[in-house]
């Protein structure tokens, strides 16, 4: 049974824009469980990007990744016969966290080449005031490989990584040249809505300018058919798996297949 309403239109939008909004992708029961798990996790007081790979530890995050229907939803949007799990990550912007997350693409940070998808799940109301994600429409299809970078405690740009790697180019200043690009965001996300976006889509997140509205986001990264393992030491070492060889399909070992048609 197909889980995604109007699937042909969803696939068309995803292919064209590199991102699509899925309404009511997560059940109310899972929303409450994930909220509670996130609130417990952020008690650690880590830097903004540090809450990741919780799915390798038994608990709510692992249960959701392995037991929910999220893998099938990814496969449907991507038009893939299988979905494998890369890792998961928490992004919480508390009220008053005005820092904008720097413009970036995801794929350079992971040991994978080929089609990958993030499901970014809203666990609170999300809008332009409390941290909506912005995208450069169609940027996933440009063929540009932007250099990964390190961030500060709140997620702002600090310095580039892999500066000597000729495969990458520096990220343009999208913020300074906004009028040159088709930059957009979805005006309103409700708890349980999800953004499905390509690993090569250029994106950012606004700051939380409110004094009362949290913005809890839960992102899960997936590989689909055509993705292969490509380890690089400087950036992706924390996700390496010695059971996979370079160029092998990105599934198995640390990256279980969670859906197969």
Within 10 Å of residue 143's Cβ, how many Cβ atoms? 6
The verdict on pTM exceeding 0.75 is yes
Span 205-225, average pLDDT: 95
Alpha helix segments (H runs only) across 18-87: 28-41, 60-67, 70-78
Q: What is the pLDDT, as a whole number, of residue 235?
A: 79
b/e burial code for range 167-182 (CB count within 10 A of at least 16 → b): ebeebeebeeeeeebe
Query: Of 49, 234, 228, which Cα lies nearest the Cα of 148?
Result: 234
Taking CA atoms, 38 is separated from 52, 126, 224, in Å, by: 11, 16, 26
DSSP-assigned beta bridge partners for residue 64: none
Is residue 11 over pLDDT 90?
A: yes
Span 39-52, average pLDDT: 83
Span 22-51, average pLDDT: 90
Look up the CATH number of domain 7-260: 2.60.120.620
Q: What is the band of 252 on the pLDDT scale with cuts at 50, 70, 90?
A: very high
- Locate the domains of the chain by residue range: 7-260
Q: Token digits for 235?
A: 């950036």
Is residue 171 over pLDDT 90?
A: no
Query: Of 93, 13, 7, 3, which Cα lies nearest the Cα of 49?
Result: 93
Q: What is the pLDDT, as a whole number, of residue 150?
A: 74
Span 63-76, average pLDDT: 97
Span 178-183, average pLDDT: 94
The least confident of 28-42, 55-69, 223-237 is: 223-237
Is residue 49 over pLDDT 80?
A: no
10 Å CB burial of residue 38 (0-12, 13-18, 19+) is: buried
Note whether 40 and 47 are within 8 A (CB): no
Within 10 Å of residue 248's Cβ, how many Cβ atoms? 14
Q: What are 128-163's pLDDT values in tens digits? A: 999 999 999 999 999 998 888 777 665 666 777 777
Is residue 214 over pLDDT 80?
A: yes
Is residue 45 over pLDDT 90?
A: no
10 Å CB burial of residue 241 (0-12, 13-18, 19+) is: middle
Residue 80, classed as helix, strand or coil, is coil
Mean pLDDT score across all residues of the chain: 92
Q: Pick the residue with more confidence: 48 or 81?
A: 81
């Amino acid at each position: 049974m197909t889980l995604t309403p109007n699937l042909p239109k969803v696939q068309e939008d995803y292919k064209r824009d590199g991102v699509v909004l899925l309404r009511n992708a997560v059940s109310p029961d899972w929303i409450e469980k994930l909220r509670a798990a996130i609130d417990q996790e952020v008690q650690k007081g880590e830097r903004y990007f540090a809450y990741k790979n919780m799915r390798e530890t038994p608990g709510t995050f692992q249960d959701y990744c392995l037991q929910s229907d999220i893998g099938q939803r990814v496969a449907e949007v991507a038009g893939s016969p299988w979905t494998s799990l890369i890792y998961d990550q928490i992004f919480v912007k508390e009220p008053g966290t005005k820092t904008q997350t720097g413009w970036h693409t995801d794929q350079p940070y992971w040991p994978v080449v080929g089609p990958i998808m993030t499901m970014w799940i809203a666990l609170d109301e999300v809008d332009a005031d409390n941290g909506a994600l912005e995208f450069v429409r169609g940027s996933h299809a440009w063929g540009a490989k932007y250099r990964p970078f390190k961030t500060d405690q709140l997620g702002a740009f600090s310095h580039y990584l892999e500066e000597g790697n000729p495969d990458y180019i520096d990220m343009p200043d999208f913020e300074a040249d906004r009028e040159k690009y088709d930059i957009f965001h979805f005006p309103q996300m409700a708890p349980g809505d999800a953004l499905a976006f390509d690993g090569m889509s250029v994106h950012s997140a606004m700051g939380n300018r409110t004094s009362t509205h949290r913005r809890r986001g839960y992102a899960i990264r997936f590989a689909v058919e055509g993705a292969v393992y490509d380890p690089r030491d400087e950036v992706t070492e924390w996700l390496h798996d010695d059971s996979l060889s370079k160029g092998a399909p990105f599934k198995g070992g640390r990256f279980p297949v969670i859906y197969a048609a």
